[in-house]
Amino acid sequence: MKNIKYYAFPSTAKEAVALLLNKKYKAMALAGGTLVAKTLPDTVETYLDIRNVPIKGIKLQGGNLVIGAGATFDEIDRSKLCRGWAGGVISAAAAKCSSQLIRNMATIGGNIARPHSFNIFPVVLLGLDAKVRLAVRSGAKLTDLPGLYAANLGLRPGLDCLITEIIIPAKTKKWRCEFIKLAKTESSWESYIKLFFSLEKKGKAVQSRICVGALSPKPFRALSTEAAIAAGAAPEACAAAFAAELEAARAGDYRSAAASSLLRRFLEAVK
C-alpha cells in the first residue's frame, strides 16, 4: 500500500472507467477491498474506491435476475429475489463465503473480477449461464463467464474496465440446483472442491449443469457427466463418469470420491 499516491471516489461507472484509462493515475478499482493487501500490484498508484458508483441493486429486468456488481455477499444472501431463484442456490452460495464480517464487505463483482480457485461465485454463475456486463471506453460490453476470463477479451476488470452487472437468464429461475463447498469449516475461504449441480426436465429431455471449482483458478463444466445425465444413465453411472472426469483433472482420490458421491445423492433426490 506504500505505492498509493492518490484516492479517487467516482460517482458513475463512466467516470470510473475514464480514471482507469487515464495512464497518469495508474488506477485500480476496488469495492469491498477484502483482498486488497494481497491483490494490489506495486504498479498501482491510485486507489479507485467505487463504493459510490450506483451498481449495487438486485432487480428483475426482462424476466432476468440482475445483480449489481457492488452487491455484497450479505445483501445477496438476504435478497428475496435471490432466495427465490433456482431454489435459492445464489443466496446459499453467498452464505458460505468466509465470515460474516467478510460477507458484509465482499462484493460479487470483486469475487469474479479475477480468477481464483477459492472464489465462490464463478462456479455458480457458470452453472447458471450468467452474463457479465462491463463498462468500457465505448460504453458497455456483454460477455459470458468463460469469456470474462478469456485472453481474447482484451480487458482487465478493475484496471481498464468495470464490472457493473451480472445477468442470470430467466430460464434458470425454476432449475433444481445445489451448491456445495467442501472445506475444513463453512467459514473457510480455502476449500477442497466447490460443486454446482442443476437439473431441468422438459418432457423426456433432461438438461443439467455439473460445474467444478477450486481445482484451478477457472471453474469448468463436467461435460461428459452432463452427457451421461442427458442420455438417461443411472445415478451410479453418472457418478462414475464424474469421478473419471475429476481424476483426469487431477482432483485426487478424496475429492473424486466425495464429489461423485454428492452428485449421486443429488440425482437420486431430484429424479
May I ask the CATH class of domain 175-270?
A: alpha beta
pLDDT score, position 40: 79
Close Cβ partners of 184 (under 8 Å, ≥ 6 residues apart): 190
Q: What is the pLDDT of residue 100?
A: 86
Other Cβ atoms less than 10 A from the Cβ of 30: the count is: 21
Residue-wise pLDDT for 194-204, tens only, equals 999 999 988 88
**C-alpha cell read off for 75:** 445483501
Q: Record the pTM.
A: 0.94
Q: Measured between alpha carbons, how far is residue 249 from residues 149, 242, 263 in Å?
A: 19, 11, 17
Residues in the chain: 271
Pairs from 235-242 (Cβ < 8 Å, separation ≥ 24): 235/263, 235/264, 235/267, 235/268, 235/271, 236/264, 238/263, 238/264, 238/267, 239/263, 239/264, 239/267, 242/210
Q: Given this model, what pLDDT does residue 127 score? A: 98
Question: Among 35, 55, 146, 152, which residue's Cα sits nearest to residue 109?
Answer: 55
Per-residue model confidence (pLDDT) at position 37:
58
Nearest CA to 16 out of 112, 207, 157, 113 is that of 157
Does domain 58-171 sit in CATH 1.20.1250.20?
A: no
Distance CA 271, CA 267 (A): 6
C-alpha to C-alpha distance for 140 and 167, rounded to whole angstroms: 14
Residues of the chain with pLDDT under 50: none
The residue to which cell 474506491 is assigned: 49
Q: How far is CA 218 from CA 24, 59, 149, in A?
A: 32, 27, 8
Looking at residue 188, its pLDDT comes to 86
Q: Which helix (H) or strand (E) holds 102?
A: helix 100-105
- 23 burial type by CB count under 10 A (0-12 exposed, 13-18 middle, 19+ buried): exposed
Residue-wise pLDDT for 200-226, tens only, equals 988 889 999 999 999 999 999 999 999
Within 8 A by CB and 6+ apart from 89, the residues are: 124, 128, 177, 178, 179, 196, 198
Contact between 111 and 189 under an 8 Å Cβ cutoff? The reply is no
pLDDT for res 120? 94
Task: Copy the grid coordinates of residue 5.
Answer: 499516491
Query: Using one digit for the tens of pLDDT, what is the confidence trace for 80-89?
Result: 999 999 999 9
